[in-house]
Every structure is written in structure tokens, then in C-alpha cells.
């Protein structure tokens, strides 16, 4: 295993190979590094799985007041027996001689049958060869001693006696190499190698707006399906946005509360006189109302890109065509997590004498397949300018439900005939933000236009 | 889109042997989108062209067809009666000349049905009634009315107790003080006299198109109904009445037609409309090879009458299906009856070659070059506010293009410049790490004849050492490398920029934009704490036309 190590890491590993368990303080001495270098070195080795730090605790013992007294003068029981070695003595005399230690000394001597009492005198019966606890006292003396160095049986005798011992609890960190580290060869030769496995900071990635990515992707799919892009104005006379698409002038969709009208702006020229005449006739005949050209002149912000398509068809009257228009459209709505006043729409048409609804369904199924949506179905719906009209429903795995995406249909004869378009026109399209929301997993459509750099800098490119 | 609340158990009771799942699966194939579902209740959205789907009973007709329980057109079984008559006086001809109506007898009315009737009435008023202008409807308790009725006009001081009131109000008071009066009074203009329906005892029945009398209110005790529709066009009022008549008949009422005299008014007829359709159109449109008998059975499942006559198919369309204009509408009825789920999509090779618009390609190039220069792409609305566009940037304009009646304060005028939006974006990101570099390309608007649109390109840089030199280097290099455009900058003055640090951008001696350090007061307005530099140029006329 070849790995690049920092000088600090090398020194620590080498030292631990010689001396497997060391505290950070011991490592400081053995490596001649500063406490901070040791701390960092240990952290790095831990992250690499090369070192572990074991924490344990030990107890240091020193003698307390009574312990020290016994250390200097002997254990109370030895002092008692020493006084009786030559002769029996009176209780009072022993008491005054030994003071406070007389009681405990006497208790022990009686219990062990070392003394006996006769009338008012106490005499020695047996002088033991050794006194339990004395070894410990001697070992500790005036120093601090690790508990582990002491004879546990001897110690336990002293531990019971009040004020004999002082305990000091000490926490110890010990650094050890892991099994992995033990196999590492540390070269002490200096080299130019750096740690290529260590972490580095992120940088800001400049990028195309995520919504634009989706727009570009969809545009390219349309092109590969044989569609040519046409572009038109966002501001349009109501004539192309509504009248040409068979939406009667008194229809609620045309009211101010749904459509943005441009204050005081009316178009002088809206179409050829034949177009105007035929469209007005179609409206009068089918919708039974007074068709007002001034209403058709009013400028609106387009509510769909269909106005661009229909104008293109009316002007060019192709025999065969696949064209699409993509861009911003507008609705006078309250802005919310699901509605914007301005959003992107794409709409494509297939024109040709052999175009059928099943073909259009096939194109759509292929389109969805290419953006990664495979579970789709078609439901009927209503659009004022197409008949029959379908909508595609796409299954969303994240939301676990069917969501409505693009609409489709055949342009009504009431739309195509007045404009001199004789072949069937099949149209399909819808909002792009909806698809982008699915791709980026967003629940709030406003995010696309907030320009929140946190999001723009973190949204993943490939979804 | 309007919404109707249905109940599974009601639908099941009306349909006979059906399961909840069967119904739920079929509703979308009638064009009804399920909005929400809760136990027995189900809320569906219906298309405004199918107001007959505004009640359970209308939907039942559709479900019966698809399930094959009953097919073909629903025929209204109208009894004629001399007991009921409406006389129309000539005075109404100038204000609301037409009236029609039906009597519906002998059925149970519960709370839920009343709720649905009211909802249906509102949807009819809003949609085909064009907010009551073209036609409006009144539903009354028949037993509170003495026939014959008179449809006439009355003065504005005429008094009666209107619906939802307990005291007499004059016409003027109704128009001034009630919600419906305030909302729809304008339909009557300034005329001194207004439409009114009186009964034979001179009691007020209805004040169309505003409000009914309280006396004739429909309750759960009502057994018999009188429905009147008034309007400005005879066909429109008959269309509206046909919906109500169909729904009421399906709900179990016996329908009786009154005699209507005066002006061009006649009793309602409710006849099937005949329409011919060619099977070629159907098969060409759908991409199928249906034989005629399959087409006939599909049309019948869509609750239309259909019979074969040679190659032609003769359809009978019930009066409430006035959404059917011509053969293409019948093609849709065929495919609904046949079942969209039975249409297999096909992918035929395209006979045409696709192409991206040159403008889109150029804009993509601009984006790619700016990304290469470390800029993040922003997207802002073209519909914005005076505050962002002018107040915050110290700009002025006497050519502002506004939209009427915007529901959002933040979207009231069309942008004539992109830069203010980018400055606004910087102000929303002051807690994010610098440097910040943003760009945007998009449409801006200007007054022309009547309005012009062009595509602009703007960029901003914000960081503690941002300078004029940096932004000029960026723009100069981007345009030179991307489009072989060599720009020059000349001393200029502009309120958004710092005096002495702003230049016009020209190409071939034509000014195409502006560049410079943003005025420190404006940066302060935006609460941005680092210097900001920026530019904006027109791409239209520069790299495309």
C-alpha cells in the first residue's frame, strides 16, 4: 500500500512503531513535535484509519494524614504490641501513650487474639510476623504510586482505614497504530508527492440556467423529431391570439382578469382584409354576436405560442410542415407555487394530408420517452381551437400520481378554413416549467425566476 | 375550469350495477379530471363547453353511454299544456327581448340537488350566458306562481321582496345595495325601465337578469319547478334552457312546455339537430379504419343518434349539445365513444427536416461564452414593476408600456432593460459568497407602431475589486471571440452609473449599449456592500436581425 504522508504523520507513525502505546505527551517527547502538530497528526491518521486513540483511566494513590503518621511511627497495632512486648500494661497507661489510635489498635489486637486481659492489665499473647497493610504503606511512603503497582490484598486493608489514603483519578489517552498502519512502509526520504486523497474546497461552477437547460433539451428533441423552430413576438394583436383561434370576443378567457392587455395600444394592421373578413364571418355565424374589429386590434401579451404558429401557417400556407414555436407566454394570475404570470410554452404543429391523431400520439410518446418519461396515457380534454382535443397524462414516480402535461389536438376547421389552410393541422404543446419541475424535483415553480445563487450554484446539471 | 362535486353512491344508485372503481376509471374519458376524492365524495373539473356536466344527472348520461347501459341521443319528452302561458310585451324588445321557459313537475328535491342546481345556474351564467349578458336563468317554485305570466318592463321604483331578503326593496335599491345588483346592474345601462316577470296576480316573479323574488324560492319542500331564461338572442336562451330541461328530466321530472307569445318569442321546441358526417374524415383524422357500424355504435355511446345512409352517417344531435358545430366535433364524439385508450400511437418517419432558429443558436452561443467567462445565467420576468425598472435604478421614462389590471403588483410594466433585474438579483444574494457574476439575454420592449421588441444582453459583476476595466475586458473579449464584433467605448452619462465611470458602447459608429460602474447610491439602495459593474447591449441588429 503506497500512501503519501505528511512529515508530522511520518514521525508519529515511526515513533509508534518503536513504542506501540504512547500518550500525546509521550509522543511530543519522542517525536520532538509541538502539541498542536501532534494533535493534527493524530487527527489525520485517525481519518485515514491508521491510528486509534484509546482512552482509559488509572488511580494514583498517596498517603493521607493517618497513613503518613503510621508510615513514620508504625501501624497503630504494631505500636500497641511493641508497648506490651516486655510487660503487661494498664489500660489507662496504654491509652495515654497511644492517644486516638489506641481504640482501633486494641480492636484489631483483640479480634486477632494477639492480646488478652487479666484484671485491669493487658498482656501480649502473640506477636505476628507481619502486619497486613504495612507493605503498602512502605511502598507509597511520601510518593504517588499507581494503584496497579500495589498488592491488591494488602492495599484493601489500608483502603478501609479512614484518612490513610488519597485517591487521584487520572484519564489517559494512548495512541496506537491500527493493523493497517503496521504494514505501512514509511520512507524517510523526502519527495514531491502530496496527499492526493485529502479533501479540497469546492469552487463555484458557472452554468446555464437550469430552466434554460430544459428548454434547450426540449428544443433539440423537437428538432430531431423533424420540427423547425419559428419565432414570433410576445406582444400580439388580440386578432392572432384569440380571433384567429376561434375564441369569441365575449369569451371569459379574453377578459382583463385572465389576459394582459397593453394599456392604450392597438394595432393598425392586423392581417389581410380577406383574413379579417373571413374570420369575422366565422365568428358571426358560429358564435352569434357582433364582431368588433377594434376588439381584435387591441394588443395583448400572448397567452400561448399558438398565435405565432397560426400566423406562420396563414402567411405561408405550406402543403406539408412540422414547425414549432417556443417562448414566454403570459396569464394574468395570482403568483403562487404553481402559477406564474409569465412562463415558457412550446407548441408544435404537424401539417400534411396524411397526418393522423395516432401519428401525433406517436410523436408525443417518443418525445416523452426522450425526456425520460415512459409511463404516459391520453385523456380527452377541451381546447377552444382544437377538435378532437387530448391531454397527455404522465406518471410521476416522486409524487406517485398522474400529472397533466402537454395538450394536443386537430385545429378546428373554423380556425383553418378562414385562413385558407386546407390540410389538417395537428398541434401539440404545453408549459415547459412543469417538465423542468419534474426534472429538478421542485415543488415551487417560482424558484426558476428567483435567481437564488445558492440554488443556481448547486442545482445538478444532469437530471 | 369549473368544478362539480359528485357522490359515488348517488352515481351508483342512478346507474345501477357499477363499482366505484369503474366510475372513477371512466370519468376521465368523459373529459372530467378528478380533482380530489374523499370517501364517497369526488370533485371533478369539467370543460366549460360541456355545462351539461355541471350536475350528477348530466354526468350520468355520459357514463350510461360509455358503459353501454343506454346509448343514443336523449330525447326530451315534452308535454304541451294550455295551463301555462307567458305573454311578452313589446316594451322588452329594446332591453332584453327574449324569454323562454319550462315547467318541471313531480320529483323529489333534496339539499344536494338544490346545491347542484345553484352551481349549474352560476356556471351557465358565467359561461354560455357570458356573465348573464347573453342569457340568464331563474328557477322557481311553480306552486307559488299563478299563470299566465307577463314578461314586461317596470320603473325603477317598483318594489318587491328579492331573494335572500325579508323586506321590500325598489329596483334602484336592489341595484345599489345587493351584491348581484352591484355586479350585474350595468347590463341594464341607464334605461328608465327594466325587465320584469309578473304573475297573473301582479306578483313579481323575477327581475332578470339580476334576481328572483323571495316568494318563489325553491326549497326541499318544492315539488314542481318553473324555469325561465331571458336574453338577447333566441338561440342562446334556448341552448341554456335545453341544458336545464335535460338535467331535470334525467332527475325524474315531467317536463311541460308553456305557451309563449309576443314579439318573436315562441314555445321551446327542443328538436334534434341533423348533421351528416363522412366516414373518410373520421378515419383520416384518427388514423383508423373503422367500419360504418362501428362509427355508428361509437357515436351512440357518446349519446348521439346515428344512422347509416349509404356511405354517409346521419347524426341526430340533442339540443343541449350545442357545443357541436360541425363534422370535426363529431369526429371527437366518435373517438370518445370508441375510447382513446384503444388508439395505439404510431411513429411514422418525418418527411421534414428540423432546424433550430438562427436566433436561438446565437443566443446559445452568447450563453456558452459567458459561462466560459465564469458567469451564471439568470432569468427574470419581462413583466416587471416601476420600482425595479425605474425607481431603484434612478431611471426615467415617458414611454412606459403597462398592462391593465394586473393581479400582481410586481408585474405591471414591460421591461425596456434587463440590467435593473440583474441588480435586483444581486440584492437578493448579498449573503452568498462573492464574486458574483450574472448575465441574462432576453426580450425588451419599446413603443413603436404600436410596440417593438428586441433582444438585449446584460451582465453584472459584483466583488470588492470590481472595476470598469474588468467589465469592459469581459464584454470586449466575449463579443470579439464569439461574434467577431469589435466594440468601442465613449464617454457617456447615465443616472444608473457613476459619473466618469460610464461609457456608451458602439459598433461601426452606432451606439448599441452602455457599460460602467454602477452608481454607489444605487448599490446602497440595493443593500449591496461591494462595487458593481455592468453592461447592457442590444443583440438585435448586432448578431441577428
What is the ipTM, given to two decimal places? 0.90
Is B49 in Cβ contact with A379 (below 8 Å)?
no
- What residue ranges define each of the domains in chain B, with the CATH number in brackets? 3-67 (3.30.56.10), 78-261 (3.50.40.10), 273-340 (3.30.56.10), 358-538 (3.30.930.10)
Mean pLDDT, range B70-89, rounded to an integer: 93
- Which helix (H) or strand (E) segment holds residue B332: the answer is helix B327-338
Contact B354, A226 (CB under 8 A): yes
Q: Tell me the C-alpha distance between A295 and A277, whole Å.
A: 14
Q: Tell me the C-alpha distance between B376 and B370, whole Å.
A: 8
Q: Which of B450, B461, B462, B544 should be substituted to probe chain A, the one whose Cβ sees the most A Cβ atoms within 10 Å?
A: B450
Contact A329, A356 (CB under 8 A): no
Contact B437, B418 (CB under 8 A): no
- Supply the DSSP symbol for B390: I
Is B383 in Cβ contact with A342 (below 8 Å)?
yes
Q: Tell me the C-alpha distance between A47 and A39, whole Å.
A: 13
Q: What angle do CA B22, B23, B28 make, to 5 degrees?
A: 110
Q: Tell me the C-alpha distance between B491 and B256, whole Å.
A: 86
Q: Tell me the C-alpha distance between A160 and B370, whole Å.
A: 83
Q: Tell me the C-alpha distance between A462 and A64, whole Å.
A: 74
**Closest partner CB to B376 (pick from A227, A341, A457):** A457
Q: Tell me the C-alpha distance between B368 and A170, whole Å.
A: 65
Is B428 in Cβ contact with A451 (below 8 Å)?
yes
Dmax of chain A from CA atoms? 150
Residue A204: its chain B contacts at CB < 8 A?
A: 374, 376, 433
pLDDT the model gives residue A102: 86
Q: Tell me the C-alpha distance between A24 and B478, whole Å.
A: 57
Give A382→chain B minimum CA distance, Å: 6
Q: What angle do CA B491, B492, B495 make, to 5 degrees?
A: 145
B312-317 and B273-278 strand pairing:
antiparallel
Give A289→chain B minimum CA distance, Å: 9
Q: Reply yes or no on whether the pLDDT at B205 is more than 80.
A: yes
Name which of B255, B251, B274, B242 is nearest B137 in CA terms. Answer: B242
Contact B538, B419 (CB under 8 A): no
Ranges of chain A with pLDDT below 50: 1-2
- Judged by DSSP in three states, B534 sits in strand
What value does the mean pLDDT of chain B take?
A: 94
- Judged by DSSP in three states, B71 sits in coil
Name which of A206, A235, A316, A196 is nearest B413 in CA terms. Answer: A235
Give A422→chain B minimum CA distance, Å: 13
Q: Which of B124, B328, B461 should be substituted to probe chain A, the one whose Cβ sees the most A Cβ atoms within 10 Å?
A: B328
Q: Is the peptide bond before A388 cis (omega within 30 degrees of 0)?
A: yes
- Residue B328 to residues B282, B283, B295, Cα–Cα distance (Å): 8, 12, 14
- Residue A13 to residues A16, A195, A196, Cα–Cα distance (Å): 5, 16, 19
Residue pointed to by grid coordinates 399558438? A306
Q: What angle do CA B68, B248, B197 make, to 5 degrees?
A: 155
- Residue A319 to residues A271, A353, B318, B347, Cα–Cα distance (Å): 21, 8, 37, 20
Contact A328, A343 (CB under 8 A): yes
Is A209 in Cβ contact with B380 (below 8 Å)?
no
Q: How many CB pairs under 8 A join A and B?
A: 257
Q: What's the burial of A314, exposed, middle or buried (CB within 10 Å: 0-12/13-18/19+)?
A: buried
Alpha helix (H) residue ranges in B373-449: 386, 419-427
Q: Reply yes or no on whether the pLDDT at B473 is more than 90.
A: yes
Give B468→chain A minimum CA distance, Å: 21
Grid cell at residue B28 = 376521465
Residue B332: its chain A contacts at CB < 8 A?
A: 380, 387-389
- What residue ranges define each of the domains in chain A, with the CATH number in brackets? 1-50+178-200 (no CATH), 63-164 (1.10.10), 210-458 (3.30.930.10)
- Residue A205 to residues A98, A202, A416, B371, B521, Cα–Cα distance (Å): 88, 9, 48, 9, 31
Q: What is the pLDDT of residues B485-528, one digit of tens each?
A: 999 999 999 999 999 999 999 999 999 999 999 999 999 999 99
Contact B326, B275 (CB under 8 A): yes
Grid cell at residue A213 = 437547460
pLDDT the model gives residue A1: 43
| Cβ within 8 Å of residue A3, ≥6 positions away | A48, A184, A195, A197
Q: DSSP string spanning A359-402? A: HHHHHHHHHHHHTT---EEEEE--BTTEEEEEEEEEEETTTTEE
| Cβ within 8 Å of residue B21, ≥6 positions away | none
B413 beta partners: B384, B402
Q: What is the pLDDT of residues A72-107, one digit of tens each?
A: 888 888 888 888 888 888 888 888 888 888 888 888
Residue B423: its chain A contacts at CB < 8 A?
A: none
HSE on the CB side for A44, CA within 13 Å?
A: 21
Residue pointed to by grid coordinates 432569468? B379
Grid cell at residue B415 = 421591461
Name which of B527, B524, B535, B485 is nearest B507 in CA terms. Answer: B485
Q: What is the pLDDT of residues B370-388, one digit of tens each?
A: 999 999 999 999 999 999 9
Name which of A201, A200, A189, A187 is nearest A3 in CA terms. Answer: A187
Is A335 in Cβ contact with B410 (below 8 Å)?
yes
- Which helix (H) or strand (E) segment holds residue B117: the answer is helix B111-126
Q: Tell me the C-alpha distance between B432 and B440, whole Å.
A: 19
B150 beta partners: B87, B198
Contact B62, B54 (CB under 8 A): no
E-strand ranges in B145-212 read 149-155, 159-160, 169-170, 193-198, 204-207, 211-212
Q: What is the pLDDT of residues B149-188, one digit of tens each?
A: 999 999 999 999 999 999 999 999 999 999 999 999 999 9
pLDDT the model gives residue A370: 94
Q: Tell me the C-alpha distance between A320 and A421, whole Å.
A: 11
- Which helix (H) or strand (E) segment holds residue B35: the answer is strand B33-38
Give B156→chain A minimum CA distance, Å: 28
Q: Tell me the C-alpha distance between B50 and B486, whole Å.
A: 61
Q: Reply yes or no on whether the pLDDT at B369 is more than 90.
A: yes
HSE on the CB side for A77, CA within 13 Å?
A: 22
Residue B235: its chain A contacts at CB < 8 A?
A: 288
Residue B233: its chain A contacts at CB < 8 A?
A: 288
User: Torsions phi, psi of A242, nearest 5?
Assistant: -125, -60
Q: Tell me the C-alpha distance between A127 and A131, whole Å.
A: 10
E-strand ranges in B240-366 read 254-261, 273-278, 305-309, 312-317
Q: Tell me the C-alpha distance between B86 and B151, whole Å.
A: 7
Residue pointed to by grid coordinates 341607464? B190
Report the first-to-last Cα separation within chain B, whole angstroms: 41
pTM, rounded to two decimals: 0.80
Q: Tell me the C-alpha distance between B125 and B13, whole Å.
A: 30
pLDDT the model gives residue A112: 87
Give B216→chain A minimum CA distance, Å: 31
User: Torsions phi, psi of B182, nearest 5?
Assistant: -65, -40
Is A206 in Cβ contact with B437 (below 8 Å)?
yes
Rg (CA), chain B: 33
Mean pLDDT, range B535-544, rounded to an integer: 97
Amino acid at each position: 500500500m503506497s500512501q503519501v504522508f505528511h512529515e508530522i504523520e511520518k514521525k508519529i507513525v515511526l515513533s509508534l512503531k518503536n513504542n506501540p502505546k504512547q500518550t500525546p505527551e509521550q509522543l511530543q517527547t519522542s517525536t520532538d513535535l509541538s502539541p498542536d502538530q501532534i494533535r493534527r497528526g493524530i487527527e489525520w491518521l485517525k481519518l485515514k484509519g491508521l491510528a486509534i486513540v484509546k482512552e482509559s483511566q488509572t488511580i494514583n494513590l498517596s498517603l493521607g494524614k493517618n497513613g503518613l503518621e503510621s508510615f513514620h511511627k508504625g501501624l497503630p497495632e504494631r505500636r500497641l504490641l511493641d508497648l506490651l512486648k516486655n510487660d503487661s500494661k494498664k489500660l489507662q497507661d496504654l491509652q495515654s501513650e497511644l492517644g486516638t489510635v489506641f481504640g482501633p489498635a486494641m480492636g484489631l489486637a483483640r479480634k486477632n487474639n494477639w492480646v488478652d486481659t487479666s484484671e485491669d492489665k493487658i498482656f501480649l499473647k502473640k506477636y505476628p510476623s507481619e502486619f497486613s497493610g504495612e507493605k503498602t504503606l512502605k511502598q507509597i511512603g511520601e510518593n504517588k504510586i499507581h494503584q496497579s503497582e500495589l498488592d491488591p490484598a494488602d492495599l484493601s486493608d489500608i483502603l478501609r482505614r479512614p484518612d490513610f489514603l488519597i485517591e487521584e483519578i487520572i484519564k489517559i489517552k494512548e495512541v496506537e497504530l491500527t493493523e493497517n498502519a503496521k504494514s505501512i512502509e514509511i520512507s524517510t526520504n523526502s519527495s514531491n508527492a502530496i496527499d492526493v486523497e485529502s479533501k479540497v474546497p469546492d469552487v463555484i461552477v458557472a452554468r446555464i440556467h437550469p430552466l434554460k437547460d430544459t428548454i434547450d433539451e426540449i428544443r433539440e428533441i423537437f428538432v430531431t423529431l423533424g420540427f423547425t423552430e419559428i419565432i414570433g413576438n410576445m406582444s400580439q394583436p388580440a386578432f392572432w391570439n384569440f380571433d384567429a383561434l376561434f375564441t369569441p370576443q365575449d369569451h371569459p378567457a379574453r377578459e382583463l382578469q385572465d389576459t394582459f392587455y397593453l394599456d392604450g395600444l392597438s394595432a393598425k394592421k392586423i392581417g389581410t382584409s380577406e383574413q379579417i373578413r373571413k374570420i369575422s364571418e366565422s365568428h358571426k355565424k358560429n358564435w352569434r354576436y357582433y364582431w368588433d374589429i377594434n376588439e381584435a386590434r387591441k394588443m395583448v401579451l400572448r397567452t400561448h405560442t399558438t398565435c405565432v404558429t397560426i400566423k406562420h401557417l396563414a402567411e405561408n400556407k405550406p402543403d406539408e410542415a412540422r414547425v414549432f414555436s417556443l417562448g414566454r407566454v403570459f396569464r394574468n394570475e395570482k403568483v403562487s407555487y404553481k402559477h406564474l404570470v409569465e412562463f415558457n410554452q412550446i407548441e408544435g404543429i404537424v401539417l400534411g394530408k396524411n397526418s393522423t391523431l395516432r401519428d401525433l400520439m406517436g410523436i408525443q410518446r417518443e418525445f416523452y420517452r426522450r425526456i425520460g418519461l415512459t409511463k404516459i396515457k391520453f385523456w380527452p380534454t377541451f381546447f377552444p381551437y382544437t377538435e378532437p382535443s387530448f391531454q397527455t397524462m404522465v406518471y410521476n414516480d416522486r409524487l406517485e400520481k398522474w400529472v397533466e402535461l402537454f395538450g394536443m389536438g386537430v385545429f378546428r376547421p373554423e380556425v383553418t378554413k378562414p385562413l385558407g389552410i386546407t390540410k389538417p393541422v395537428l398541434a401539440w404543446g404545453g408549459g415547459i416549467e412543469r417538465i423542468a419541475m419534474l426534472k429538478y424535483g421542485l415543488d415551487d415553480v417560482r424558484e426558476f425566476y428567483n435567481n437564488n445563487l445558492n440554488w443556481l450554484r448547486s442545482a445538478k446539471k444532469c437530471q | 375550469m369549473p368544478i362539480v362535486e359528485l357522490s359515488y353512491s348517488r352515481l351508483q344508485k342512478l346507474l345501477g350495477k357499477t363499482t366505484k372503481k369503474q366510475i372513477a376509471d371512466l370519468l376521465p374519458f368523459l373529459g372530467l379530471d378528478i380533482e380530489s376524492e374523499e370517501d364517497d365524495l369526488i370533485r371533478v373539473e369539467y370543460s366549460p363547453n360541456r355545462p351539461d356536466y355541471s350536475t350528477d344527472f348530466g354526468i350520468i348520461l355520459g357514463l350510461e353511454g360509455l358503459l353501454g347501459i343506454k346509448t343514443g341521443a336523449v330525447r326530451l319528452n315534452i308535454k304541451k299544456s294550455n295551463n301555462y302561458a307567458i305573454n311578452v310585451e313589446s316594451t322588452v324588445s329594446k332591453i332584453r327581448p327574449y324569454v323562454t321557459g319550462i315547467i318541471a313537475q313531480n320529483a323529489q328535491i333534496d339539499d344536494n340537488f338544490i346545491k347542484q342546481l345553484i352551481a349549474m345556474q352560476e356556471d351557465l351564467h358565467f359561461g354560455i350566458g357570458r356573465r348573464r349578458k347573453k342569457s340568464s336563468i331563474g328557477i322557481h317554485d311553480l306552486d307559488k306562481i299563478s299563470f299566465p305570466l307577463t314578461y314586461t318592463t317596470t320603473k325603477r321604483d317598483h318594489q318587491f321582496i328579492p331573494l335572500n331578503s325579508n323586506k321590500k326593496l325598489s329596483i334602484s335599491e336592489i341595484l345599489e345595495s345587493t351584491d348581484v345588483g352591484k355586479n350585474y346592474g350595468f347590463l341594464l345601462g341607464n334605461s328608465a325601465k327594466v325587465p320584469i316577470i309578473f304573475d297573473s296576480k301582479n306578483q313579481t316573479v323575477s327581475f332578470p337578469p339580476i334576481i328572483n323574488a323571495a316568494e318563489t324560492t325553491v326549497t326541499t319542500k318544492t315539488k314542481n319547478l318553473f324555469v325561465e331564461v331571458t336574453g338577447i338572442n333566441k338561440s342562446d336562451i334556448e341552448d341554456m334552457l335545453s341544458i336545464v330541461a335535460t338535467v331535470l328530466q334525467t332527475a325524474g321530472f315531467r317536463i311541460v312546455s308553456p305557451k309563449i307569445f309576443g314579439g318573436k318569442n315562441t314555445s321551446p321546441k327542443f328538436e334534434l339537430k341533423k348533421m351528416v358526417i363522412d366516414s373518410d374524415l373520421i378515419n383520416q383524422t384518427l388514423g383508423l379504419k373503422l367500419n360504418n357500424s362501428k362509427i355508428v355504435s361509437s357515436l351512440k355511446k357518446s349519446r348521439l343518434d346515428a344512422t347509416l345512409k349509404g356511405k354517409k352517417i346521419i347524426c341526430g344531435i340533442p339540443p343541449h349539445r350545442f357545443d357541436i358545430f360541425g363534422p370535426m366535433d363529431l369526429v371527437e364524439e366518435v373517438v370518445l365513444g370508441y375510447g382513446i385508450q384503444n388508439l395505439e400511437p404510431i411513429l411514422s418517419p418525418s418527411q421534414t427536416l428540423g432546424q433550430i432558429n438562427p436566433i436561438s443558436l446565437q443566443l446559445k452561443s452568447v450563453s456558452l461564452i459567458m459561462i466560459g467567462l465564469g458567469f451564471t445565467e439568470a432569468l427574470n420576468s419581462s413583466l416587471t414593476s416601476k420600482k425595479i425598472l425605474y425607481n431603484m435604478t434612478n431611471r426615467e421614462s415617458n414611454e412606459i408600456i403597462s398592462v391593465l389590471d394586473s393581479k400582481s403588483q410586481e408585474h405591471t410594466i414591460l421591461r425596456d432593460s434587463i440590467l435593473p433585474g440583474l441588480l435586483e438579483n444581486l440584492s437578493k444574494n448579498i449573503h452568498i459568497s462573492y464574486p458574483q457574476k450574472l448575465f441574462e439575454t432576453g426580450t425588451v420592449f419599446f413603443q413603436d407602431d404600436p410596440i417593438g421588441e428586441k433582444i438585449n444582453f446584460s451582465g453584472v459583476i459584483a466583488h470588492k475589486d470590481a472595476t470598469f476595466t474588468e467589465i469592459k475586458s469581459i464584454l470586449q473579449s466575449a463579443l470579439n471571440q464569439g461574434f467577431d464584433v469589435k466594440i468601442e467605448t465613449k464617454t457617456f452619462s447615465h443616472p444608473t452609473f457613476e459619473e466618469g465611470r460610464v461609457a456608451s458602447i458602439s459598433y461601426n459608429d452606432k451606439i448599441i449599449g452602455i457599460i460602467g460602474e454602477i452608481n454607489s447610491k444605487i448599490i446602497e439602495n440595493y443593500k449591496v456592500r461591494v462595487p458593481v459593474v455592468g453592461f447592457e447591449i442590444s443583440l438585435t441588429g448586432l448578431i441577428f436581425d
